[in-house]
């Protein structure tokens, strides 16, 4: 699922370390195509319904990244994509959550965050059984919450607990996949779960109520899907990076001007129903090119340090260090947040 790490931090570290050794100075362009054009590989995970899926379906990356053969490559695991970025065999990766991105940066993967695809608002949350009487996190002390351990969900719950002064040991996390949560919910075996759609919506429709959403910790633990570029490659291929940004913006604009067709594109590209695509879109804060350079996106100039994407990466890194999933104390992440490409496109370049 799009929200999870999909593998242990050890797997990320091992894959990244091996790729960095193989890469040397890194940043090489992918092999040329039969037409003697450089091949640019854009990796993606199944982000569900978002404008990028429409951009892919409509061929916008091929249209705007002129002078290159564009290859879209699906990755089922974050660690595999991050290792490919480290080696230089992958130029772009999209759909990365801020905890996996922060973990990769901490392991030395040379990347820049150049686009915030969307931030989660009500697409994920804490659902409890209405008959349980639980109406707050405080009511769950001494009990368990089902969630995908290793996903972004524990990060958000831990942040909410700290806000409310609830000790970290007061609530236990029961590791379950979303389909298993739904089955256990229907059998009456669990009373609380922190999960995303479609499992979240399914439990709400079967006797559940939501007592917390992603948006409730948006300023402390915001969760994004982010697009990154391999740092060394980007330095020598500025026009192609600008083309990538233009394609992302074109996907957003297409959704605004042709919403019905865009949603059909998203559903087909992501392999979900149109109804589910519409439900997912309601739970996102989507970002256009102007939003990218605002305070809720990447920021610009001196505002990058306080921009919400930087906040999200810093918060994720501190959380990962606290639970010992990264070994090095986190540094300020503003150095890897690069709004210059979005700023150029917004200015008409």
The pLDDT value given to residue 46 = 67
Positions of CATH 3.40.190.10 in the chain: 9-120+222-346, 124-217
What's residue 323's pLDDT?
83
pLDDT higher than threshold 50 for residue 69 = yes
Fold topology of 9-120+222-346: D-Maltodextrin-Binding Protein; domain 2 (3.40.190)
Q: Please report the pLDDT score of residue 6 as a whole number.
A: 38
What is the CATH number that goes with domain 124-217?
3.40.190.10
Cα distance between residue 112 and residue 99, in whole Å: 15
When pLDDT is averaged across residues 89-99 and rounded to a whole number, the result is 91
Does residue 115 register a pLDDT over 70? yes
* This prediction's pTM: 0.84
Residue 170 has pLDDT above 60, yes or no: yes
More confident residue, 139 or 198: 139
């Amino acid at each position: 699922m799009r929200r999870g790490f999909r593998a242990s931090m050890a797997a990320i570290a091992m894959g990244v370390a091996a790729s960095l050794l193989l890469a040397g100075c890194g940043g090489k362009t992918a092999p040329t195509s039969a037409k003697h054009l450089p091949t640019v590989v854009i990796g993606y995970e199944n982000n569900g319904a978002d404008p990028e899926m429409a951009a892919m379906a409509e061929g916008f990356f091929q249209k705007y990244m002129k002078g290159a053969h564009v290859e879209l490559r699906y990755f089922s695991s974050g660690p595999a994509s991050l290792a490919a970025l480290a080696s230089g065999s992958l130029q772009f990766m999209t759909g990365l959550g801020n905890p996996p991105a922060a973990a990769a940066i901490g392991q030395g993967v040379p990347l820049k965050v150049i686009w915030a695809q969307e931030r989660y608002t009500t697409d994920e949350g804490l659902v409890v059984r209405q008959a349980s009487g639980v109406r707050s996190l405080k009511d769950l002390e001494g009990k368990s919450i089902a969630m995908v351990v290793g996903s972004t969900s524990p990060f958000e719950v831990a942040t909410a607990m700290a806000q409310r002064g609830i000790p970290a040991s007061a609530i236990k996390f029961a590791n379950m996949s979303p389909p298993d949560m739904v089955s256990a919910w229907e059998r009456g075996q669990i009373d609380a779960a922190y999960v995303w759609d479609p499992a979240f919506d399914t439990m709400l429709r079967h006797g559940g109520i939501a007592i917390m959403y992603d948006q409730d910790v948006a300023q402390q633990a915001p969760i994004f899907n982010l697009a990154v570029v391999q740092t060394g490659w980007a330095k020598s291929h500025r026009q192609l990076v600008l083309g990538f940004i233009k394609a992302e913006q074109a996907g957003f604009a297409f959704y605004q001007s042709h919403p019905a067709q865009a949603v059909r594109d998203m559903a087909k590209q992501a392999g979900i129903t149109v109804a589910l695509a519409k439900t997912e879109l309601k739970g996102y804060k989507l970002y256009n090119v102007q939003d990218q350079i605002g305070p809720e996106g990447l920021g610009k100039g001196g505002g990058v340090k306080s921009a919400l994407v930087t906040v999200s990466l810093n918060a994720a890194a501190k959380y990962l260090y606290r639970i010992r999933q990264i070994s090095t104390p986190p540094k300020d992440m503003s150095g890897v947040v690069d709004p210059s490409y979005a700023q150029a496109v917004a200015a008409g370049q």
